[in-house]
Amino acid sequence: MQKKKKGPTPRQQEELCLVCGDRASGYHYNALTCEGCKGFFRRSITKNAVYQCKYGNNCEIDMYMRRKCQECRLKKCLSVGMRPECVVPEYQCAVKRKEKKAQKVGDKDKPNSTTMNGSPGSISGMGTDQIKIEPSEVDCLPMNSGSTDSLTGIQNGLSVVNPEQAGLIQRLVYFQGRYENPSPEDLERITHRPTEGEDLSDVRFRHMAEITILTVQLIVEFAKNLSGFDTLLREDQIALLKACSSEVMMLRMARKYDAATDSILFADNQPYTRDSYSLAGMGDTIEDLLRFCRHMYNMKVNNAEYALVTAIVIFSERPQLLEGWKVEKIQEVYLEALKAYVDSRRKHRSGTVFAKLLSVLTELRTLGNQNSEICFSLKLKNKKLPPFLAEIWDVIP
């Protein structure tokens, strides 16, 4: 019998969580749900939780209200078919966690790989120390070069948010600017000349891959400086970084989108168009990304909103998390800050804009999945992904 050739599976129509409308990750406890609702249902059942609605016992559960009303969220879980009897008892979960932790300890001594130019080759090898900043540093908020934002515009949005949220937003914007671009030294190490046997397409692809490595490393540094990140288990920090990096990269591209030329300014400050992607042999990957960039541009998303959405993406529920509840609690802080900021900046349109910004999370999951498919298809085109990207995006060699 002839073996079927392996290849990327065709992308299915986007499936949404029956409880809240977020992107579904599969069938959990007998219903199609996202990771967040799966974890919420499991915790509610294992703890025999009793909730009380503060809004009239008839809340419409969406990606925002799911965090505001636990009683109506649990009712919705049950109404869409989630079954309490399918939940594994807590003591069995504890045994599994203990076994998994023991296995991780056994793997600790394994050496990390390295990538080009001596960059760290393993995401798990990167430090997670929290960098502290002084209030005087936060006052000097650097804007990205491609943005039309002004400091006044961002401060106007902070006018009615509470002091804690204002400080959180200022910190986010500060680190977003700090980890915006690679250093000149890093950029100088990127080679533009072809090596033996390389054609122009290979050179372009390698150049884009090297720029992407620098971008992902900046994303990692930004994430490590987010308030709350250092409180997570190391395993969960690594899981979040691996899962969010491609989605955050799409957000960074949208921030650097140039509507006049319909191009994206990469980390080396060079514009990349459809032609640039085609020359690198990746012309079929650009249309959805450009459409997303145009959508964000038309929404007039500013630096503070980008920074908040980025933090929300980083602290999203992921399948591999050991303490998903803790990640959800941290994300809630950033969600509340985003809502307060949008209410302040967007005034009468705040409800519509906030809903659109939440829908961006689902779009990013789709783009992230497309990135995984693209990485897989590169193997079929004999284009090798650098080890750092292969590891962080779980591309099996």
Q: Does 273 have pLDDT greater than 50? A: yes
Position 46 confidence tier, pLDDT thresholds 50, 70, 90: confident
pLDDT > 90 fraction of the chain, expressed in percent and rounded: 30
φ, ψ of residue 294 in degrees (nearest 5): -65, -40
Rg of the Cα trace of the chain? 22
For the cut 70, the answer to whether the pLDDT of residue 254 exceeds it is yes
Distances (CA, A) of 235 to 51, 111, 125, 327: 31, 17, 12, 12
Residue 317 pLDDT exceeds 60: yes
Average pLDDT over residues 40-68: 88
Alpha-carbon gap, residue 11 to 13, rounded angstroms = 7
Dihedral Cα 251, 340, 179, 36, nearest 10 deg: -60
Instruction: Please give the biggest Cα pair distance in the chain.
Output: 70
How much is the pLDDT for 368? 84
Q: Which residues pair with 263 in a beta bridge?
A: 258
Q: What is the pLDDT of residue 196?
A: 60
Mean predicted confidence (pLDDT) in 305-309: 95
Lowest mean pLDDT among 256-260, 261-265, 285-289: 285-289
What local confidence, expressed as pLDDT, does residue 111 receive? 38
pLDDT at 130: 34
At 140 the pLDDT is: 36
How far is residue 40's CA from residue 19's CA, in Å, rounded to a whole number? 11
The pLDDT tens digits of the residues spanning 193-249 come to: 656 666 666 777 777 888 888 889 999 999 999 999 999 999 999 999 999 998 999
Say how far apart CA 211 and CA 119 lie, in whole Å: 13
Rounded to whole angstroms, how far apart are CA atoms 113 and 122? 6
Site of tokens 């999370």: 361
Provide mean pLDDT across the span 120-140: 35
Nearest alpha-carbon partner for 337 in 305, 373, 380: 305
Query: What is the distance, to the nearest Å, from the Cα of residue 162 to the centroid of all Cα atoms in its chain?
Result: 26
- Banded pLDDT at 148 (limits 50, 70, 90): very low
Predicted confidence band at 138 (pLDDT cuts at 50, 70, 90)? very low
CATH code for the structural domain at 26-90: 3.30.50.10
CB 78 within 8 A of CB 72: no
State the average pLDDT over residues 320-346: 91
Average model confidence (pLDDT) across the chain: 77
The domain locations on the chain are 26-90, 133-392
Q: Which amino acid is at 272?
A: Y
Average pLDDT of 322-335?
A: 92
What own/partner pairs with CB < 8 Å and gap ≥ 24 does 152-156 have? 153/302, 154/302, 154/303, 154/304, 156/344, 156/345
Does 384 or 103 have the greater pLDDT score? 384
Measured from the Cβ of residue 133, the count of other Cβ atoms closer than 10 Å reads: 13
Residue 229 gets which letter from DSSP? Answer: G
Contact 183, 262 (CB under 8 A): no
Place of tokens 């992607």: 277
Confidence category of residue 74, pLDDT binned at 50, 70, 90:
very high
At which residue do the structure tokens 């989605």 appear? 247
- The pLDDT of residue 320 is 85
Name the band, by pLDDT with cuts 50, 70 and 90, for residue 135. Answer: very low
* Range among 87-96, 188-197, 368-377 rated most confident: 368-377
Query: What is the DSSP pairing of strand 257-258 with strand 26-28?
Result: unpaired
Which value, to the nearest 10 degrees, does the dihedral of the CA atoms of residues 237, 246, 111, 231 take? -10
**Choice among 57-61, 101-105, 335-339 with the minimum mean pLDDT:** 101-105
| pLDDT: which is higher, 279 or 319 | 319
Distance CA 81, CA 141 (A): 48
**Range with top average pLDDT, 27-41, 83-97, 275-289:** 27-41
* pLDDT of amino acid 161: 74
3-state secondary structure of 108: coil
- Per the CB < 8 A criterion, the answer to whether 182 and 218 are in contact is yes
Looking at the predicted structure, is the pLDDT value of residue 3 above 60? no
**Class level of CATH domain 133-392:** mainly alpha
In contact, 168 and 337? CB cutoff 8 Å: yes
Is pLDDT larger for residue 308 or for residue 380? 308
Which tops the pLDDT comparison, 204 or 395? 204
Examine the pLDDT at 90 and tell me if it is beyond 70: no
Burial of 299 (0-12, 13-18, 19+ CB in 10 A): middle
- What pLDDT, on the 0 to 100 scale, is given for residue 396? 63
Length of the chain: 397
Place of tokens 């559960």: 61
Give the closest residue to 364 by CA, choosing from 67, 14, 37, 65.
14
Structure tokens at 257: 């989108």
Percent of the chain with pLDDT over 70: 71
